[in-house]
Structure 1
Amino acid sequence: MPGSGKSTLASRVAEIIEGKGIGVRKEAYVLAHCVSRRRRVTTKLLYVLSELFLEPRYALRSARAIAATSQNSTMEFIKGLFNWLFVTSLARPIMRFNGVHMLDQGVFQALWSIAFSGGPNSLTLMVAKLLDHMPVPNVIVIMHVEAPTVARRLAARQSQDSRLERLLEKDPGIMARSTLLFRETVETVELIKGRYTTLEVVSIDNNENEELETNAQAVAEMIYHKLEAGPAPKKAIQ
């Protein structure tokens, strides 16, 4: 969830892997941190349009699934669908890229985000309707961070890009709900793991900044292991 250190870890892991001469594709990170807002919005829109054009049935199925979660408002529904189609478009297999495709916000973070604005059992509804159709990565990194650490990191940010940041001051109980949704998401990942033989799940404790290098090395080692295991469907690291 926001404040867990996803982008910082992803950036460091990419540096380690690239240092070994392995290519890393990291559009999500670049769009979030390295380009202007106008370019970010335009590029995301192009990804969403490509998903609508290339996967129209999936896009319609996604819209129906998100609608079933009873989002807080029409705008939340639109934002949730837009972000979902953007993320799944990024996560689809890349046939011509010989390297690692890394997403600091992957499919399961996007599911958490939709559930955050939805009604009860939103996560279960989404997974039930989309699991057989959505792209699933080869490696998922689960970052365990305590609520006070998340709150401290969010407070230190200059911008308030996430809803969690904006709601913290207004609703102190929102952190508890966010943490509960995180646990539900982790349980969902563990259930899904049994269905995909190529899926690896890495769990790390990312409470302290000093743990960054150790965690990055651990994730990089897992990726090396996957690469050495031989050819596999080209999917994302999330």
Structure 2
Amino acid sequence: MDTLNKLCCVVPPASAGEIVAPSPINEDEVKKSLIARGSSVVSVDSSDGFGIIISKDVILTTSSTFPDPAAAEGATVNVRTPPAASLELKLWPQRFFVTNRDLDLTLVACDPITTSDVSPLMSDASKISRQSLEAGSKVYILGYPRGSKMGSKSSAALGEGRVTVKEDKFLRIQTDGLVWASGSAGFNEQGQLAFVICNPHQSFAAGSSSIHGEERRDDKQSGVSIGDVCSRLIQV
């Protein structure tokens, strides 16, 4: 399937013994580039769910939002496009749908992206992390705080955090105080797509936050690396 080929073109991790020279990091430039990619984070019109556009016709979201193809049938997602505009995309689960409830992640086909204002997060291999995130790694989260609504004038927020624990399936992320909605995108220090926020225990009542961050509770969250998204969701 063409959709699977697009998603499997992720650059593989650097092999053992390969020395990858770190690139100089300009934090301000990284943040600026990530904010510019905020239109790739979408909201689900029929629920409080969020997701990210990872190829021109595939959305990565949560299994708690779409646990099966029937739940996604007829659903649409809202894409914020500059300046303060929006685009509605219809989902097509009959074309492509795969979910993993253990990871709380779902991949589902959508209308093809036809505007240059939206850049799918996995369309450029150079912008995808080749290295595993280790404990202590600085990360960025691009998305919406849990409990927020993507209004007509709202745009994706950018926050920071650090990996505290690396487990078999999940990363544990200590954020900067906000509790991010599942489906938000995670990036490494270089600004490369590295993981997606998830809630494997589906404990959505455990914390909440507004778009401005007035409410701040449990700031340790789970994430799944993009490599595991491909290996665990696609190779099923």
TM-score range, shorter chain: under 0.3
Q: Which structure dedicates a bigger proportion of its chain to strand? A: 2
Which of the two has greater helix per residue? 1
Q: Which has the higher contact order (CA 8 A, sep 6+)?
A: 1
* TM-score after normalising by structure 1: 0.23
State the structure with more CA Rg: 1
